[in-house]
Structure 1
Amino acid sequence: MAATSPTSDRPSLLDGLDPEQRAAAIAPRGPVCVLAGAGTGKTRTITHRIAHLIRSGHVAAGQVLAVTFTARAAGEMRTRLRALGVEGAQALTFHAAARRQLRYFWPRVVGDRPWDLLEGKLRLVGQAAHRVGLGTEPEILRDLASEVEWAKASLVTPEDYPVAAARAQRDAPASPAQVAEVYRAYEAIKNNAQVLDFDDLLLHTTAVLEEHGEVAREFRDRYRCFVVDEYQDVTPLQQRLLDAWLGGRDDLTVVGDVNQTIYSFGGASPRPLLEFTRRFPEATVVRLERDYRSTPQVVALANKVIGAARNRPAGSRLRLVGQRPDGPEPRFAEFDDEPAEATGVASRVRQLLDAGVAASEIAVLYRVNAQSETYEQALADAGVPYLVRGGERFFDRREIRQAMISLRTAAADPPPTELVTAVRSVLAPVGLTEQPPAGGAAKERWDGLLSLVELAEELAATVKGADLRRYVAELEQRAAAQHPPTVEGVTLASLHAAKGLEWDAVFLVGLAEGTLPIQHADGDDNAIEEERRLFYVGVTRAREHLWLSWSLSRHPGGRRHRRRSRFLYGLLPEQHPDARVPRGQQISKAAKPRCRVCGGPLRDTMEIKLGRCDGCPSTLDEELLARLKNWRSSRARELKVPPFVVFTDATLLAIAEQQPHDRHGLVSISGIGSGKVERFGADVLAVIRGERG
């Protein structure tokens, strides 16, 4: 493909990007780190960056490999690239990319037929547990499988598991020694059967590239430019695979937000994102903080949620700035019991539907999947269509399978009509009538078929001359990636499953102690902060309407002993009847302090003050430290006291590292009490914001 000049390319490709997005899109070849807050247009930014690199002649489309963490996100990236005229760039999940590479190189490296891929590991984990003498109940097997997955993602062998699990404070379903035996037996059973699990795709691909120079050279000749989305969620195994892909090169763009790190339980770590500029000192760093998703009211609440986090590293201090017009204030509601809460939510959903909000633009989000049933019942009683994310997959539904068969047949000899008309004609015999059925299962099936037509409309609008063959190829690709089109219905989903999605209206439900934060997180500062980030992810899914609710009892007539979540403290309006902190719910000061970087215990006064271990990387803002010292000198002269009376050097150092956004953040720094905050807090916060100093 002939390359166009950057100058001729920019007006059409880069117009519409804000200054920070543009800076990321046109940054030099690499390395580039984009710190992108929720709703700041990161997918738009990185797809425009890929398109700009290709059109400017820096790299060919076939030499680009973009990886992310969900098939849906990868599908969205491919759709955006296609709309920008980019064909041939790879946008895949880590596992999908590794599977392709391993399949290609397997005959050369191993020599026999490729091993089959396990769709799930519970059956083999059950055999391993039985060998070790552990129970084989489904709950135990799921927990054991999770431990095996964590260990492999963390590059931990069965021999190393007991020590690693203790260090990571894993809440295992059996003793560490027994889990290690299950892990060892599982690997033996799997290898004897000559099958791979999903973690093996990454492990074996990494080994092939590290141990076979000829294969590595061929791969690196093919792929020259790498983009990693959601980099805060990378595991040690994924990072090692990325390093093998790079092979010492630095043509790498990473995008992430430490505030949205919510998969630590699976081995994910924000450390590679936080340490990116230490690894690549010459890296271009761009911060995206303009929020185009949510109203200023939702953005303000999100900033309060994450602003209350303890010991935030410098790389996480993104403060969103809402760009949309004003909207309604978030609503808070307390209920006597869970069914009453679900009924209240269903009633409010019905009001939104009557006001013209589409059902597909409404979501009910909860902490654990077990909460779904009550809301399913309440919505059904209110006559509201809904979809449970994580339930039956779209492309597995009977009517969709039938539609795919009919479309494939028609594509073999496509009719000479435009795409949308052809798709409607093919789907009519399958059940796509002109008018929708009244409701129930028939309406749900009709909605699914209609979404296939809407996908054809989208393809026709973005790909010139798209025909039925091209449409079926797109469907096949989406089915393989489990990237379904939008189907009408209120979404019910866990907070983890909602990551990467957004809706006009979001209901965050069950916000009670023991549920959010989840009960087993209590007593572990790192786990509590991850629960806070999960709450933050939920808040930032809402574009306009945000409802936050909790109930005092699980069942009608039950004892009302629950308390609203500690994360709601400071969020409720002053006039709200539940605005005060419930008795006994104040944040405990007795929790053992832990490092904000690695999570290890802090050993001495200076480590506690800085909030990090002595060996962990500093997040010091030296310019801020200089401003703080200038302010302290001036204030000390005014008060006619030595500077240390205002704040000690160590305290200023801690402030310059932790950069608190509010008084609560100042008080969380060891050595700053309420008296100091009352006297100097407003000045210090102004210096941090750059308004003084």
Structure 2
Amino acid sequence: MDMILEGLNEQQKDAVTSTSPVLQVLAPPGSGKTKTLTARVAYQIQHNGLKPWNIIVCTFTIKAAKEMKERIRGFIGQELQSKLVLGTFHSISRRYLSFYGQHIGIPKDFGIADTSDSNAIIKRLIKRHSFNIEPGKARSRISRRKATTDNERQSKGPMSVEVQEFEELFTRYEDTLKLSNLLDYDDLLLRCLELLTKHPDCASNIEAVLVDEFQDTNTVQYELMKSFACGGTGRGVKKPASITIVGDPDQSIYSFRSAEIENLNKMTRQYKDHSTIMLKENYRSAGNILKYSMQVIEQDTSRPSKTMQSTHHSGTLPVLRELDSSKQEAAWLVREIKRVKELSAGMLSHQDFAVLLRSASLSREIEAQLGASGVPYRMVGGFKFFDRKEVKIILDYMRVIAQPDHTDAVLRTVNEPPRKVGDATVKALVEESERRGWTLWNLITKVAKDEHKPTAKISNQAWTGLKTFYNIIFRGQQHLETMGPEEGALIPLIEFIIRNIQFDAYLRKESKDDETYQNRLENVEQLKVQAESISAEPVESDEEKLYEIDGVQQEVISGPRATLSKFLINVALATDAQLSADGQTNDVVTISTIHAAKGLEWPVVFIPSVYHGSIPHSRSDNDDEERRLLYVGMTRAQVFLYLSWPTKLAENRDEQNCVLSSFLKTDGLHKKFAHLGPSLDTDDVWKQTAVILRRECP
């Protein structure tokens, strides 16, 4: 049998070998969608003769992209795999803009405004112009606006004062990004779509487009998929590329990110020659977990009917436990973790347990009980490595050296470590730079070189601080330019920054004790390790290149500056890369929101607080999506599934009665659950567990 098809079931084989020009693969949880999609990519290359550099594979997380690369590498080898255009929508868009952005006026050395940059710009603009808008809501609103097409944004009558104010904020936000030579995350997609619309030949080589987690695409991503597939067809250069999407409407839970569940129906209408294949076998969960999860999702009668079958034994009944309070609920949950782990006789460790929450705010009691019981845990979405203060300071200096027009990076470093450039001075400089239409760095340069006297009075100490800051950045730029490409430019640059800003003394002063100081030093060393790995790679590695198309000019930067630019872009895009303090994966219980847990699995899953107001959430107006959210949470479990709820909540010393979620009361579903944890003292339970987890039975 063909190695690519080995181990696939009939539906998976049909999906891998399909010759349909437009293929929809509907893949419920645990049905082997990644295995199927990666096998289809390999099959297109080995059997259909497609060149890997003519294939685009879009994912939604860096983790998923890495997993796909590893699997595809196993089929076709490193050399061919590295030539695929594979990554997240944002990283692929960034590659196209890096090579072809000059055709739509994007400078080749553009930077990326990460979330903290965007938030800082918005807060500054709101304060500067006294806008009556909450910064967090403004950021979400800007992102939603950019996630829609021009047609969807057509005005429907006169604008209210509030809308006019938002429009002014939006315009100023865009102007600030442009002046700083930055694109935010949404711009990467929008400007790539603009590029492909105006210059479709940039993608005229593409023969196949494959999209994972299609139910999570927004309107712009859907249009990007179409544009990649149609590149160059308007001039008769080629026939459209084939399109393969893998998704599951039942797992559409990201409407707050503008994900559009209607995209699947839109695709069905627009591509009349499409084929649909349903993957029906579940390889993840015990039979009862799948059965009860399906009884939740099937309450939505508007969804297409599906048949799912577990390949495993029924297993124990899922548990629905009622407790008197959230404190008692948390205490029971921790006791059950300890009981199951102990009775597993070493088969399960702490990392096999997950607590999945509708809202992160529900974690307080659970964290307290875990801590009191000595059970180690981690909060997904806690402090990310690149957000740690000591790491971020160095990164910001690197940003200013690479992109001095990055105003927010300048603002974060001009007085960090402190050099007597106070808030009043900075505020005056920002206001003057905005009035003159200069970047903040441009103004600081002129002041430091005595070429311009600022409007506001600046103290001698502040002037000295500005000059010191300017000299560090200017010398850093010179230091970078004088290095040969073989020297691994980033490590010496980091050491230059540490030395010239007297970072060691600063860290000692900022640390409450020696242990904190040592931890911060270790984080700086970890940053060097990551920078070194980037420096060791050629700037134009096979995985970065795009196929050169006749008549379409590519533009790239090279040398140490290109290495620095690549590193900073990777940092900005690494939004889901999280490291513990020592960079290792620890044996700890995971606490996560259900949203953040999508695509993951654990042997044992707890979903607490399944009461009305939590799920469905009191602020949600979409019960269908809330139901899908519970379904996604339940289908993360492989062997044991626990749901629980408190009958009372203590709010500001007042007790509030709780009602069980309607999703679990429908058709008396709650009566079918077990109401106590399963008996675990029989060999059969652990034999079945060993089979599902593919582990040795102790």
Q: TM-score, normalised by structure 2?
A: 0.64
> Alpha carbon RMSD of aligned pairs, Å?
3.4
Task: Report the alpha carbon displacement of residue 180 of structure 1 after superposing the two structures with TM.
Answer: 3.2
Q: Cα–Cα, structure 1 residues 56 and 181, in superposed 2: closer, same or farther, change >3 Å?
A: same
Task: Report the alpha carbon displacement of residue 289 of structure 1 after superposing the two structures with TM.
Answer: 1.7
Q: Is the 8 A contact 2:378 2:589 kept in 1?
A: yes
| Structure 1 letter corresponding to 2:342 | D
CA distance in 2, matches of 1:487, 1:164: 56
The SS at the match of 2:138 is helix
CA distance in 2, matches of 1:501, 1:477: 23
CA distance in 2, matches of 1:304, 1:379: 32
CA distance in 2, matches of 1:68, 1:134: 37
| Structure 2 letter corresponding to 1:125 | I
Q: Is the 8 A contact 1:75 1:481 kept in 2?
A: no
Q: Is the 8 A contact 1:260 1:537 kept in 2?
A: yes
Task: Report the alpha carbon displacement of residue 358 of structure 1 after superposing the two structures with TM.
Answer: 2.1
Partner of 1:208: 195
Partner of 1:328: 316
CA distance in 2, matches of 1:164, 1:37: 44
Is 1:151 matched up with 2:138? no
CA distance in 2, matches of 1:400, 1:540: 38
Is 1:347 matched up with 2:335? yes
Partner of 2:603: 504
CA distance in 2, matches of 1:321, 1:163: 51
CA distance in 1, matches of 2:350, 2:156: 48
Q: Cα–Cα, structure 1 residues 480 and 250, in superposed 2: closer, same or farther, change >3 Å?
A: same
Q: Is the 8 A contact 2:608 2:644 kept in 1?
A: yes
Task: Report the alpha carbon displacement of residue 187 of structure 1 after superposing the two structures with TM.
Answer: 2.1
Is 1:189 matched up with 2:172? no
Q: Is the 8 A contact 1:132 1:181 kept in 2?
A: no
Partner of 1:129: 126
CA distance in 2, matches of 1:160, 1:410: 48
Q: Cα–Cα, structure 1 residues 576 and 335, in superposed 2: closer, same or farther, change >3 Å?
A: farther
Q: Is the 8 A contact 2:207 2:241 kept in 1?
A: no
**Which fold has the larger relative contact order, with Cα–Cα distance below 8 Å and residues 6 or more apart in sequence?**
2
Task: Report the alpha carbon displacement of residue 392 of structure 1 after superposing the two structures with TM.
Answer: 2.4
| Structure 1 letter corresponding to 2:331 | T
CA distance in 1, matches of 2:340, 2:387: 30
The SS at the match of 2:246 is strand
1:6-60, Cα deviation, whole Å (9 max, x unpaired): xxxx532212100000100111163211011111110010101111111114312
Q: Which moved more, 1:479-488 or 1:105-114?
A: 479-488
1:69-104, Cα deviation, whole Å (9 max, x unpaired): 122222221222123234432321101110111111
The SS at the match of 1:227 is strand
> Percent identity between the aligned chains?
27
Q: Is the 8 A contact 1:310 1:529 kept in 2?
A: no
Q: Is the 8 A contact 1:116 1:195 kept in 2?
A: yes
CA distance in 1, matches of 2:667, 2:274: 37
Which residue of the other structure, out of 659, 662, 672, is the alignment partner of 1:566? 662
| Structure 1 letter corresponding to 2:111 | D
Q: Cα–Cα, structure 1 residues 549 and 178, in superposed 2: closer, same or farther, change >3 Å?
A: farther
Q: Is the 8 A contact 2:98 2:108 kept in 1?
A: no
Which residue of the other structure, out of 204, 213, 222, is the alignment partner of 1:230? 213
The SS at the match of 1:547 is strand
Which residue of the other structure, out of 92, 96, 100, is the alignment partner of 1:101? 96
Is 1:540 matched up with 2:612? no
Task: Report the alpha carbon displacement of residue 553 of structure 1 after superposing the two structures with TM.
Answer: 2.6
CA distance in 2, matches of 1:477, 1:143: 22
Q: Cα–Cα, structure 1 residues 176 and 571, in superposed 2: closer, same or farther, change >3 Å?
A: farther
Task: Report the alpha carbon displacement of residue 188 of structure 1 after superposing the two structures with TM.
Answer: 2.8
| Structure 1 letter corresponding to 2:631 | Y
Q: Which moved more, 1:81-90 or 1:403-412?
A: 403-412
Task: Report the alpha carbon displacement of residue 573 of structure 1 after superposing the two structures with TM.
Answer: 6.1
Task: Report the alpha carbon displacement of residue 379 of structure 1 after superposing the two structures with TM.
Answer: 1.1
Is 1:23 matched up with 2:14? yes
Q: Cα–Cα, structure 1 residues 382 and 571, in superposed 2: closer, same or farther, change >3 Å?
A: farther
CA distance in 2, matches of 1:391, 1:165: 39
Task: Report the alpha carbon displacement of residue 175 of structure 1 after superposing the two structures with TM.
Answer: 4.0
Task: Report the alpha carbon displacement of residue 322 of structure 1 after superposing the two structures with TM.
Answer: 1.2
Q: Is the 8 A contact 1:31 1:283 kept in 2?
A: yes
The SS at the match of 1:73 is helix
Task: Report the alpha carbon displacement of residue 498 of structure 1 after superposing the two structures with TM.
Answer: 0.8
Partner of 1:683: none
Which residue of the other structure, out of 182, 186, 192, is the alignment partner of 1:199? 186
1:481-540, Cα deviation, whole Å (9 max, x unpaired): 72779542111111111111111111111111111111122xxxx611111111111111
- Give matches, 1:55-204, under 5 Å: 55-86=46-77, 87-110=82-105, 112-120=107-115, 121-130=118-127, 133-135=130-132, 140-155=134-149, 160=154, 175-204=162-191
Q: Is the 8 A contact 1:75 1:483 kept in 2?
A: no
CA distance in 2, matches of 1:74, 1:184: 34
> Gapped runs of 5+ residues in structure 1?
1-9, 167-173, 415-474, 580-693
Partner of 1:376: 367
Task: Report the alpha carbon displacement of residue 369 of structure 1 after superposing the two structures with TM.
Answer: 1.2
Q: Is the 8 A contact 2:26 2:278 kept in 1?
A: yes
Partner of 1:682: none
Q: Cα–Cα, structure 1 residues 367 and 226, in superposed 2: closer, same or farther, change >3 Å?
A: same
Task: Report the alpha carbon displacement of residue 164 of structure 1 after superposing the two structures with TM.
Answer: 12
CA distance in 1, matches of 2:189, 2:573: 22
CA distance in 2, matches of 1:183, 1:76: 37
CA distance in 1, matches of 2:152, 2:309: 47
Q: Is the 8 A contact 2:54 2:208 kept in 1?
A: yes
| Structure 2 letter corresponding to 1:96 | S
CA distance in 1, matches of 2:158, 2:288: 43
CA distance in 1, matches of 2:57, 2:289: 31
Task: Report the alpha carbon displacement of residue 571 of structure 1 after superposing the two structures with TM.
Answer: 7.2
> Gapped runs of 5+ residues in structure 2?
231-238, 389-519, 537-569, 676-698
